[in-house]
Amino acid sequence: MPKTDTILSTKSLHYFLQLIDTMNYTQAAQILGITQPALTQQIKKIEHAIGTPLFGQMGKKLYLTEAGKQLQTGAIQLLGTINSVVSDIQEFTQADKGNIAIGVLESVDSDLLRRFLIEFNQKFPNITISVSYFNRKDLWYNLDNNLIDLGLLYVPETAKKSQSNIQNQYEQMKVTQERLTILTHNSNFKPKKSYPVSKFLGKNWVLYPDSFYLTQLLKDKLGSKLNAKNGLNVPLTFTSTKQMVDTAQETNYETVVGESYYQLHQDEIDLTPVFLKGVPKFTTSIIYRKGKKEVPRIENFLAEFKKFLQA
């Protein structure tokens, strides 16, 4: 008896499924681009290999036997698995196909990334990209467990992880250099100048939630100067930067954003941008596990993003 592993090839199973689609040897052979005798021979070889007929005939009409129905189910599953594996391999080895998952820290302004993705999609339409927003803990969880390919976050956030862990497991690509930017209603302040903490005590604020990095920066700097009289009053918080800024403009509240957000949206903002003395600059970076750049589509994405940033 012939060996089933040589008879039940992907080609023979494809022939078998095509015959099921048409239930006509002549039509199936024409679609497959082979002769009818060649198709008949392939089906007979399969039947001989498994030891039972796959098709029966009533008059001139073919029908599937019970054995044929079982093989049909198995053939669909087997070929589906093979095609999926081949597709995954092709996606891994090709620079212009596949999927890329990106995680963005909630407080990071991603408008620059969004603009790049539009341009990238036009150039590489067969690469699909999904962007999700996370808090710091969930973003690192997804990076650590390879659930996302790339993370966009503030570099100081990585300080929460050990530096050895960053150096041994991750690489980063700088996107923008940032400064904590206060948007104030005080028209006496000169735009983009630095002012001491004392100038901002006793103000009302609309901010990100406490867990967000920019709020932490502000509170850390103001913390030593705050007391019961001039505490940091935050009646409203938003996770959306736009909602936060719009609210600040419609009230007498101050707010904070990253410098890149202000630069991208300054035409829409009437408040005065100033800096807080003593707050160090920080960077927004793309973080990814070491080895990710070996995937051609990831390497291609990072190279195109770098070109976009330099343009």
Looking at the DSSP bridge assignments, the partners of residue 178 are 282
291 neighbors 162 (Cβ within 8 angstroms): no
Looking at the DSSP bridge assignments, the partners of residue 119 are none
Report the distance separating Cα 270 and Cα 185, nearest Å: 9
Q: List the chain domain ranges.
A: 4-93, 98-177+283-310, 180-280
Look-up: residue for tokens 């913390």? Answer: 223
CA atoms within 13 A on the CB side of 230: 13
pLDDT of amino acid 86: 64
Rg of the chain over Cα atoms, rounded to whole angstroms, equals 31
Report the distance separating Cα 243 and Cα 6, nearest Å: 64
CA nearest neighbour of 109 among 153, 139, 143, 158: 153
4-93 CATH: 1.10.10.10
pLDDT of amino acid 213: 82
pLDDT of amino acid 131: 94
Same fold, 4-93 and 98-177+283-310: no
Cα distances from 117 to residues 88, 95, 102, 111, 301, in angstroms, run 22, 16, 11, 10, 10
pLDDT of amino acid 87: 59
Report the distance separating Cα 176 and Cα 110, nearest Å: 11
250 neighbors 74 (Cβ within 8 angstroms): no
180-280 CATH: 3.40.190.10
Q: What is the mean pLDDT of each run of 10 residues along the chain (311 residues)?
A: 57 86 87 86 89 89 92 85 68 80 86 93 94 86 85 67 54 88 94 90 89 83 58 86 94 92 90 91 88 88 95 82
Centre a 10 Å sphere on the Cβ of residue 154 and count the other Cβ atoms it contains.
21
16 neighbors 69 (Cβ within 8 angstroms): no
Report the distance separating Cα 311 and Cα 303, nearest Å: 13
pLDDT of amino acid 90: 59
Class of domain 98-177+283-310: alpha beta
Q: Please indicate, yes or no, whether the overall pTM of this predicted structure exceeds 0.85.
A: no
63 neighbors 56 (Cβ within 8 angstroms): yes
CA angle 183, 184, 186 (to 5 degrees): 155
pLDDT of amino acid 11: 81
Burial of 102 by CB count in 10 Å (0-12 exposed, 13-18 middle, 19+ buried)?
A: buried
